[in-house]
Amino acid sequence: MTSSLLDTIASPEDFREWPVAELEQLAQELRARIIEVMAVNGGHLASSLGAVELTIALHKVFHAPEDKLIWDIGHQTYAHKLLTGRNATFGGVRQHKGLSGFCHPGESPYDHFHTGHAGQALSISLGVAKNRDLTQRHEYVVPILGDAALTCGLTLEALNNMNRDLKRFIVVLNDNNMSISENVGRIKHILSRLLSNPTSIKLHQELDALMLKIPSLGSRLAKQGHKIAESIKNLVSPAVFFEHFGISYVGPIDGHDIKKLIDVLEGVKTCTWPVLVHVLTRKGQGMTEALQNPTPYHGARPFDITTGKFLPSKSNKQTFPKIFGRHMLKMAEADPSLVAVTPAMSAGSCLDDMMKSFPERCFDVGIAEGHSVTFAGGLAYGGRMKVVACLYSTFLQRALDNVYHDVCLQELPVVFAIDRAGIAGGDGAMANGIYDIGFLNGMPNMVIAQPRDGKLLIELLEAAFSYGRPTAIRYPNIAAEEPSGPLVKRELGRAEVLAEGKDLLIIALGHMCYTALQVRDLLSQDGISATVLDPIFVKPLDSELLCELLVSHQRVVTIEEHSVQTGLGSIVNNFLLTNGYSHIQVVNFGVPETFVQQGSHHELLDELGLSPEKITATLHQRLRLKDAVAAI
């Protein structure tokens, strides 16, 4: 692509003096560049397309990185990356060794925080502003929120702690009326009511402007004038949500009108109190397919750049989430007591079909992970409803106390469907689901299971409510095998031997069983035979079967796509030491203590030493298997 303007930009300084006409041309070029790269790589397309003019205006008005632009989530930051010196490397976004798909401080001084979870920007920004004031600096702090951030409790907690005397603090609310899917809950109606009362907004703005024009009366009159303005607005609009928190509301502003955006942002810079600028944008702006279908184009797959249509999948296999969603619908059709809860992940967790068929039994509570878990606990109270709480592993981290206090301690049989368990691929360190076993394992009565294939996932879903206790079923977002044959009733804590051998025991979790079987084949070429055990349950372990196998196996290997510090390997090691098997040689394979960055699933597994070839080589090195076999 040829870009006469974008290619000349190394930093925002390069376009800060450009006239509006050139900035509008720049917006077109930014969209073309984003579409060009996303067509190949896939990524967060619709949100970034919607934030192009807003990003240009922010960088024109504020002097980043001295002024702190703090994005609530990286879904909307591709234009920001392109304008801050990363155009030349943007083709590698979300690729192995390439740019992160989110803000990343290691990439650029313009990125101040990792931002992969929604709702944190306002809290962080308040802390940054307090740091600025305590150290007597004067830069602007500008958190840029998505409207879905208002459904996140952390944002409301930050609003509750905002002081009226906070200076040089401008909140930008990028309102595209969606998170990943359409926004839910009462908060969205507050914004709608603000939009439906232009009279109150006009009166508010005119009175503020009048007071500011009166000379020589100082800050006291300005403060009184603001109180009068709020009182008038109260008379004609019930939507004074933000003013009640001590933050002045300005808007709504057309988020695709660069001149208007610049004028408003320049105007509010002089305020000596916190201001919220409400900006209206359209998710997918500039690309017909993304504009008409913002949900699938939020995290877009590679697509035909001419038509905008997604390219066909390279695999005909169903993914674990799709198998989960399909079977949840089937279970809901057969059982009217089954309900599902999700925190704004209905599309990603493949619950949309259930939500359409049974809207009264499928609940999207917005970006409110803690609430979703506690709400699920309340639904499960009394035992009349069968409750499935569907969360991504990385987001379950935000609901740790709710899982413990409101489900486990209450002994409520909520089933947790933990999606995206494992390495996050292109989403990188902000989204890896490799810690949940560690924090769930310490909770009394919690069951933790992971299926190796789609059939086993269905069997665990069918059996989970018979366990009568909190149960976590974790699975990755990858293609899943779907073996044929009748369903098996999965007893609690029962493992399964997939292959038998005599020289070592390989215990592999979930889909890593297939890696273990490949390792077994590679070892067999050197005359080494291995038993492969799928534990299915990491809590409780099948201690009876494990003890039987340890009679004839003196070497144990664990393989998992989880933090090796706190996952299957740690649990097996503890079992061996606790039960007197300290003489057993053990090698643990998993994700080391590092922040795994973006890349393809295959590339990252290989980099982490979790490919069949690298596991086999390590086993030969650590256990001297050839020598051991020769000695027999």
| Cβ contacts of 157 within 8 Å, gap of 6 or more | 123
Q: Is residue 68 annotated as part of the catalytic site, yes or no? A: no
Look up residue 200 and give its amino acid: S
29, 369, 560, 561: the active-site residue: 369
Q: Is residue 309 annotated as part of the catalytic site, yes or no? A: no
Region for 540 from its dihedrals, namely left if φ exceeds 0, alpha if ψ lies in -120 to 50, beta otherwise: beta
Task: Tell me how far apart the alpha carbons of residues 390 and 341 are, in angstroms, rounded to a whole number.
Answer: 6
Residues 316-345: b if buried by 16+ CB within 10 A, e if exposed = eebbbbbbbbbbbbebbeeeeebbbbbbbb
DSSP character at residue 309: P
* DSSP string covering 328-377: HHHHHHH-TTEEEEESS-TTTTT-HHHHHH-GGGEEE--S-HHHHHHHHH
Torsion of CA 427, 428, 430, 434, to 10 degrees: 110
Which of 322, 419, 319 is closest to 369 using CA atoms?
419
Residue pair 351/397 in contact (Cβ under 8 Å)? The answer is: no
Length of the chain: 632
| Cβ contacts of 84 within 8 Å, gap of 6 or more | 11, 12, 59, 64, 108, 110, 111
Half-sphere exposure of 185 (CA within 13 A, CB side): 23
Task: Tell me how far apart the alpha carbons of residues 184 and 128 are, in angstroms, rounded to a whole number.
Answer: 30
Task: Tell me how far apart the alpha carbons of residues 522 and 504 are, in angstroms, rounded to a whole number.
Answer: 13
398, 420, 474, 520: the active-site residue: 398
68, 81, 86, 283: the active-site residue: 283
153-160 and 121-134 helices, crossing angle to 10°: 30
Q: Is residue 36 annotated as part of the catalytic site, yes or no? A: no
Q: Are strands 299-300 and 43-44 parallel, antiparallel or unpaired?
A: antiparallel
Which sequence positions are flagged as catalytic? 283, 369, 398
